[in-house]
Amino acid sequence: MQLREVIRRRRMVRAYQADRPVPADVVIRLLEHAVHAPSAGFSQGWDFVVLREAADRDLFWAATSEDDEEPDAWLRGLQTAPVLVLCLSDKDAYLDRYAAPDKGWSDRDEARWPVPYWDVDTGMAALLMLLTAVDEGLGACFFGVPPHRHDAVRAAFAVPDGRRPVGVVSVGYPAPDRRSPSLRRGRRSVAQVAHDGRFGVPWTAAG
Ligand SMILES: Cc1cc2nc3c(=O)[nH]c(=O)nc-3n(C[C@H](O)[C@H](O)[C@H](O)COP(=O)(O)O)c2cc1C
């Protein structure tokens, strides 16, 4: 598939054909593409915990759901995903990398990082997985882990303390799902978001 078609077709898929597993070679390609994401200083401060077994996925949903609540339609849909990829960022990998002689930030001062590039880069890797899923004829969704469940997720999957669950990519063959109500907001157009040379100067396509 052409890249432009992959980009235009990509949408968050929130329900899957539960009885159709994701082929093993597709999972491998998702991960191989993820590690081609760019990263600050080539720090590559990301890890991916791949949940392919039903018992592991159940453990994830138990760790992230409220005990006393019936799953809503959103959760029931996502719970049909045959593969979940937990995307973890690693701040220390960046502080270590930039303390190296060629970067020189030996103070490891976090004030040097007004933008947490460990999370940015992990998000870029997740995007490559989303696009790869489309290219392979599957669907995927990126969703967050509730903040008060981060510790439970780390504990469930033996994730070291310094790693942050930036989000989860669910993957599978799409089943009919409900469009997100957020989409009613409409996509912001290029004219709305692009500025020509100075913020506030309307973008004109003609160079
Ligand atoms: C950082 C991030 C977090 C998101 N978290 C969730 C989430 O927790 N649950 C969910 O259903 N969708 C989540 N989404 C998906 C967005 O709702 C979706 O991308 C947006 O509505 C546009 O729809 P589209 O991706 O299908 O074009 C998230 C997307 C991003 C980029």
pLDDT digits (tens, 9 = 90+) for 164-204: 999 999 999 999 988 899 999 999 999 999 999 999 999 98
Nearest atom, ligand 1, residue 180 CA: 21
Q: What pLDDT is attached to residue 207?
A: 67
Question: Higher confidence at residue 67 or residue 99?
Answer: 99
Rounded to an integer, what distance in angstroms lies between the CA atom of residue 13 and that of residue 28?
20
For the Cβ of 11 lying below 6 angstroms from any atom of ligand 1, the answer is: yes
Report the separation in Å between the CA atom of 70 and the middle of ligand 1, taken as the mean of its atom positions. Answer: 22
For the Cβ of 144 lying below 6 angstroms from any atom of ligand 1, the answer is: yes
pLDDT digits (tens, 9 = 90+) for 124-171: 999 999 999 999 999 999 999 999 999 999 999 999 999 999 999 999
Closest alpha carbon to 83 in 134, 158, 26: 26
Q: What pLDDT is attached to residue 14?
A: 97
Rounded to an integer, what distance in angstroms lies between the CA atom of residue 190 and that of residue 196?
11
Arithmetic mean of pLDDT, 68-94:
95
Q: Would the pTM of this model clear 0.85, i.e. be above it?
A: yes
For the Cβ of 120 lying below 6 angstroms from any atom of ligand 1, the answer is: no
For the Cβ of 12 lying below 6 angstroms from any atom of ligand 1, the answer is: yes
